[in-house]
A = this chain, B = another copy of it.
Amino acid sequence: MSVPIGSVRAVSDTAISRQTAQDYVDRLERRDWPGLTGLLTDDVVYEMPQTRERIRGREAFLRFNIDYPGDWHLRVRRLVADGRLAALWLDVRVGDEQQDACVWLELSEHGLINRIVDYWPEPYEPPQGREHLVERW
């Protein structure tokens, strides 16, 4: 047996985190509120550092999502999972508008999401002086 126990457990935690992160997006996208509830700890904390907003608890977080305005749709662009952590790079659409999001998840020892941190980066104009190094798309 050349693989230490710790590595085997880490692979298993990672597999759970990867599946849970994918399920988190899928259930939000489907508005599967009971399914989403099943992924979250009772006292999950949701943070948006750009607005310095924090929501505490599963019930308030569900309500926030149920009430969120617009016909929003989520697609995973990238999912990186490691132990009890996961990072999601999302393609978010509301009607004709598109925005990317960066989401950081922490899972509890029982594989439930207990912390979510969302970033919603907005487009902006690049500063002058680096045109010789960059191309635009």
Residues of chain A at the chain B interface (Cβ within 8 Å): 1-3, 7-8, 10-11, 14, 18, 48-56, 60, 63-64, 67, 78, 80-82, 85-87, 89, 100, 102, 104, 117, 119-126, 130, 133-137
Contact = CB atoms under 8 A, between A and B. Distances in A.
Which secondary structure dominates where chain A touches chain B? mixed
B11 A134 contact: no
What are the 9 A-B residue pairs with the smallest beta carbon separation, nearest first?
A87-B87, A102-B102, A51-B126, A121-B121, A119-B121, A53-B134, A80-B87, A80-B82, A80-B80
A134 B80 contact: no
Contacts of A18: 82
Nearest to A119: B121
A8 B14 contact: no
Contact of A100 (B54, B119, B126): B119
Contact of A121 (B11, B50, B53, B134): B50
A56 B87 contact: no
